[in-house]
Structure 1
Amino acid sequence: MGGSEPHRRPEDARGRRVALVTSSYAPHVGGVEEHVRQVARELTGLGCAVEVWSVDRGTGPSVHEIDGVTVRYLPTPLPSATPGGIARFAAAFPAAWRHWARARAEFRPSLVHVHCFGPNGAYAFGLHRLYRLPLMVTSHGETVADDHAVFERSAVLRTALRRAVGAASEVTAPSDFVLDDLRARFGLVGGEVVPNGVDLSLSGDAGRSPFEGRYLLAVGRLGRTKGFDLLIDAMAGLRFDDDQADAGDAGGAGIRLVIVGDGPERQRLSALVDERGLQDRVELAGRLAPAAVADAMAGAMAVVVPSRTEAFGIVALEAWRSGAALVMTDRGGAPGFVTDGVDGLLVDPLEIAALRTAIRRVVDDRELRERMIEAGRSRVREFTWRRVAEDYVARYERMLGADHAPDRRATETE
């Protein structure tokens, strides 16, 4: 990161100046952070001027340059339903709003594009209303796959999201699963799928894998929604006998599970490993750089995604890219792009016995693994970040070329 002083504004690029307003960004890591980072890079390559406006998560308002893109960290106080909470909001809001108004005045965006609606979305909606800035909303599953259930707890955010999807010129999500929730609970009319992408340059090399031997791999933020506890429970009852392993393997008994990532559930998962007596069979490896993750996937028997809910699952694309067999949750958006038995095995991870069966099937059947690996390598070429950015640009052109934004207004009752 650079210093906290604003640097010069980029020159106009075809007149399209896009503010990507995200709930989180670097140095934090995760799906939305990766999506916005890659989209910002691709949009710049397509000739747009881009800034990222992210939520200040305790460091104070600041402006930095990351990967050649201006990133503004902006305060987003919201009122709570207590007298003290309302008073604190009243005191903090004027200064916070000045930072947002200054960002608009300095960058002069043609439109604001919200990613992962939260307090960031509420403030972007305010800019839309006050300055008549065209608004686009992209949900990343925050209403269906949030460990903190923020939309169940916050009437302010529920109302803001309902109003924003009603006012937005474009609403997208990576899967119909996410759009269906917006339609059912937040009054969305319409909405379209724009799938996630993957960086195809990180293909992975099994010879460089940071892990030795035969292993299953799981990757992600260690939160409850990701279901790593379910996978540990599955491992506790999973045994591979030599006569079950295919002829080219050294025997299934030595297969272990490696979980890559960090997050709030790490201590609980470690305790669960000890409780199940799996210290020699399950490794919590911590966070790895993207290239090391790709290498680890390339060397794995299979990549397992056991999420309780998964809006899309970029990990699935990463597994395909690295030539790994995929065992994927069917709870969420994956059935929209993963074909069961062709490029992955879909399974309900809440059914522990079914999860064990799927894992055992992949390990035991080399022919199945190789078929799924080949199919995945073929499919992943459809999911590039450039295609995602081009889809967004087409929507920007449609938004900015229209005399009036389409009316998606919904009832605003709670």
Structure 2
Amino acid sequence: MPGGGPDGTPARARHRVALVASSYAPHVGGVEEHVRQVARELAEAGDAVEVWTVDRGTGPGVREIEGVTVRYLPTPLPSGSVGGVGRFLVALPPAWRAWTSAVRAFRPDLLHVHCFGPNGVYALALHRRFRLPLVVTSHGETVADDTAVFERSTVLRVSLRRALRAAAAVTAPSEFVLERLRADFGLVGGEVVPNGVDLTLQGSGQRTPFEGRYVLGVGRLGRIKGFDLLVETFARAGLDPDLRLVIAGDGPERPALEALIRSEALDDRVLMAGRLDPATVADAMAGSIAVIVPSRVEAFGIVALEAWRSGAALVMTSRGGAAGFVRDGVDGVLVDPLDAEASADALRRVVADGDLRARLASAGRSRVAEYTWHRVAAAYLACYERVLARGRGSNRVPAGPREVGSR
């Protein structure tokens, strides 16, 4: 932590922030990467940061990851069955002790929920118990979840509504996500804080992991991500037989995708590459003809930023948040993946037109500098300052957590 007092004692952190995440390392995904990068940026800015996340059987309850303390906390929720309620009543007291112990050990100035789930339910309870300001960031979990958990869970629906009312600030990576929160959960207001990308990770364009000419899809193999639509589009487009489709990623839809590839007689032209490390993804993008994002709905689309960073032409779903930052025909081609003919036309056009691909790639490379993790963290820091200043001005938020009703 930079700085210090005149007697050499360490300076107090500007803010003490608990990032309350739905998931974290060793799990991999967009939310995990977002929270990881924000934690790093906040720490480098001189803030004290911890990540509190859902215990998914990861191992030790507290771990140090990249210099940040990560607490894996139990999050039991009640279910509709008698047995489920009984198990919840048994599990709740030790779970609540773990969460309140985290507050007393770290003494955060505020709680920042990322991707509302059971983590958000417990953060809301801590907000009420300790009068800690609450910031909520939705990552599209209410609209882009293969398991439709918000449709199935009354607890999550009610808790999210209450958290949005109680929050001192609510953010999302796109106006699309905010609009859904307003329509479905009663949000008033909200602020867009877009996603970021690590600009130091550049594709070399020289050591592509795949031979020949190919278009590339990257992401978790879930139904929402629409890779089945991409396979069907590729089959329909009638492209040169030497052009392949590479799909990089893993997930529950992989067996169904492999069956679809066989049924379309594309075994020799579609490669299921599995999960790749970030550097290999960057090189795969740099070596591709185009990067295709076929999601049925996309809250933002970090893959678009990764394609821009690697200098790849981008074909992006128009369903969701991408229309708020991808400029159709300028730095990407926007297309509805549910429109089979339009999708095939877009793919044919981008593959056939080298000048178009060069223009898209050049414009994307120019734009991507706007989406650094430093800017994301700076937006959150400005939000924290406003929230804490309001608390100081109204004398509602004391220094450190205070328990309601405590002596």
Say whether the fold is shared (TM-score over 0.5): yes
TM-score for the superposition, normalised by structure 2? 0.93
Aligned to 1:230: 229
Judged with a 3 Å threshold, the aligned counterparts in structure 2 of structure 1 residues 405 and 266 are, in CA distance, closer, same or farther, namely farther
1:399, 1:405 within 8 Å by CA — same for their partners in 2?
no
Aligned to 1:113: 112
Aligned to 2:374: 386
Aligned to 1:279: 267
* 3-state SS of 2:111 partner: strand
Is 1:17 paired with 2:16?
yes
* 3-state SS of 2:124 partner: helix
Report the CA distance between 1:61 and its aligned residue: 6.1
Question: CA-to-partner distance for each residue in 1:147-167, whole Å, 9 max, x for gaps?
Answer: 000100000000000000100
Judged with a 3 Å threshold, the aligned counterparts in structure 2 of structure 1 residues 360 and 12 are, in CA distance, closer, same or farther, namely farther
**Identity %, equivalent residues:** 69
* 3-state SS of 2:241 partner: helix
Q: 2: CA distance between counterparts of 1:374 and 1:15?
A: 39
Which of 280, 290, 300 is equivalent to 1:292? 280
The equivalences for 1:153-302 within 5 A come to: 153-240=152-239, 252-302=240-290
Matching residue's letter, 2:292: V
1:60, 1:75 within 8 Å by CA — same for their partners in 2?
no
Q: 2: CA distance between counterparts of 1:335 and 1:61?
A: 42
Report the CA distance between 1:238 and its aligned residue: 2.2
Aligned to 2:402: none
Q: 2: CA distance between counterparts of 1:37 and 1:69?
A: 9
Question: CA-to-partner distance for each residue in 1:321-340, whole Å, 9 max, x for gaps?
Answer: 00000000000000000010
Report the CA distance between 1:57 and its aligned residue: 1.1
Question: CA-to-partner distance for each residue in 1:111-146, whole Å, 9 max, x for gaps?
Answer: 000000000000000100000011000000000100
Report the CA distance between 1:104 and its aligned residue: 0.8
Matching residue's letter, 1:334: A
Question: CA-to-partner distance for each residue in 1:81-100, whole Å, 9 max, x for gaps?
Answer: 12111111111000111110
Report the CA distance between 1:209 and its aligned residue: 1.1
* 3-state SS of 2:237 partner: coil
Report the CA distance between 1:341 and its aligned residue: 0.4
2:22, 2:116 within 8 Å by CA — same for their partners in 1?
yes
Is 1:347 paired with 2:311?
no
Is 1:319 paired with 2:307?
yes
* 3-state SS of 1:331 partner: coil
Matching residue's letter, 1:394: A
Aligned to 2:80: 81
Q: 2: CA distance between counterparts of 1:44 and 1:384?
A: 16
Q: 2: CA distance between counterparts of 1:28 and 1:237?
A: 35
The equivalences for 1:20-169 within 5 A come to: 20-59=19-58, 62-169=61-168
Report the CA distance between 1:60 and its aligned residue: 5.8
TM-score for the superposition, normalised by structure 1? 0.91
Matching residue's letter, 2:278: P
Q: 2: CA distance between counterparts of 1:324 and 1:297?
A: 6
Judged with a 3 Å threshold, the aligned counterparts in structure 2 of structure 1 residues 140 and 405 are, in CA distance, closer, same or farther, namely farther
Is 1:357 paired with 2:345?
yes
Aligned-residue CA RMSD (Å) = 1.3
Q: 1: CA distance between counterparts of 2:72 and 2:256?
A: 32
Judged with a 3 Å threshold, the aligned counterparts in structure 2 of structure 1 residues 60 and 204 are, in CA distance, closer, same or farther, namely closer
* 3-state SS of 2:155 partner: helix
Aligned to 1:370: 358
Judged with a 3 Å threshold, the aligned counterparts in structure 2 of structure 1 residues 183 and 276 are, in CA distance, closer, same or farther, namely same
Q: 1: CA distance between counterparts of 2:89 and 2:120?
A: 19
2:195, 2:371 within 8 Å by CA — same for their partners in 1?
yes
Q: 1: CA distance between counterparts of 2:183 and 2:361?
A: 36
Matching residue's letter, 1:58: G
Judged with a 3 Å threshold, the aligned counterparts in structure 2 of structure 1 residues 164 and 61 are, in CA distance, closer, same or farther, namely farther
Aligned to 1:249: none
* 3-state SS of 1:52 partner: strand
Report the CA distance between 1:13 and its aligned residue: 4.3
Q: 2: CA distance between counterparts of 1:12 and 1:103?
A: 22
* 3-state SS of 1:206 partner: coil
Report the CA distance between 1:15 and its aligned residue: 3.6
Question: CA-to-partner distance for each residue in 1:361-411, whole Å, 9 max, x for gaps?
Answer: 1011111111111100000010000000000001111111113599xxxxx
Report the CA distance between 1:110 and its aligned residue: 0.7
**Pairs aligned (count):** 385
Q: 2: CA distance between counterparts of 1:93 and 1:354?
A: 51
Q: 2: CA distance between counterparts of 1:165 and 1:174?
A: 16
Matching residue's letter, 1:48: D
Matching residue's letter, 2:335: V
Question: CA-to-partner distance for each residue in 1:258-311, whole Å, 9 max, x for gaps?
Answer: 001111111111111111111111111001110110000000000000000000
Aligned to 1:399: 387
Q: 2: CA distance between counterparts of 1:49 and 1:102?
A: 17
Q: 1: CA distance between counterparts of 2:236 and 2:14?
A: 59
Q: 2: CA distance between counterparts of 1:348 and 1:221?
A: 19
Q: 1: CA distance between counterparts of 2:122 and 2:12?
A: 25
Report the CA distance between 1:14 and its aligned residue: 3.2
Q: 2: CA distance between counterparts of 1:257 and 1:15?
A: 49
